[in-house]
Structure 1
Amino acid sequence: MTLDSFLDQLAAIFLVGSGLFSLAAGIGLLRFPDVLARMHAATKPQVVGLMLVLGAIALAERSWTVLLTLLPVLLFQMLTAPISAHMIGRAGYRAGNIDDDHLYVDELDEAIDEAQEERARHERESGG
């Protein structure tokens, strides 16, 4: 077995693995009960699946220019996925789309109560 055929087989394994991670993310989005669980399913396996796809492309092409092109894709995805998941989670929490039975600790409840009290106090002081 030559190095080229080994790298091609490894790229194929990466592609199959990425497909399985993406499938798991899709099933999780359909099956999980609330927005917090769905947000987890949408971000974690999706990023790992993307990493495997980019690794497969890098192994198949074997070029520094391709690798340097793929790195910003991975970097931006890894930067934006957690931020978007955080914002979706907060919006879902505020909209009441979470299952309180699955929360062990609700750290955001206290912060939201304080913010609502602050807003009410500010409205009373400003007369509006």
Structure 2
Amino acid sequence: MQVSLRRLVLASLVVVSALAGTAVEAKKSVDETATVAVSALPPEAQQTHRLIRNGGPFPYGKDGSVFGNRERVLPRRARGYYREYTVPTPGARNRGARRIVCGGGQPTQPEACYYSDDHYASFKLIAQ
């Protein structure tokens, strides 16, 4: 009986540790030191960045829509602060995984823009 109790405690610790690791991972935020210059972005991202600053026209209907930041990778802000834009992926038959997400009061003058090439799993701050 004592051996079974030890196994149960050990198994519980393993589960708690695994859940704690998941919780920490889910709350990761953008690494503010991970920046990318506009000139270092892929050409399609540079073009999307120009379109954002000029107010369009955008090639995809979802461009300029509110980005909810459900993954909580970007800094927390009020709903409506972030907007997302598609960065075309050559050869992709859909919108692909590349995005620019910008935040601020005016869409054409964002306070900060972030580039993701892995569909919001990670972001790099675009140096202005």
Which category describes the TM-score, using the shorter chain as reference length?
Answer: under 0.3
Higher strand residue share = 2
TM-score (norm 2): 0.26
TM-score (norm 1): 0.26
Higher helix residue share = 1
Q: Highest Rg: 1 or 2? A: 1
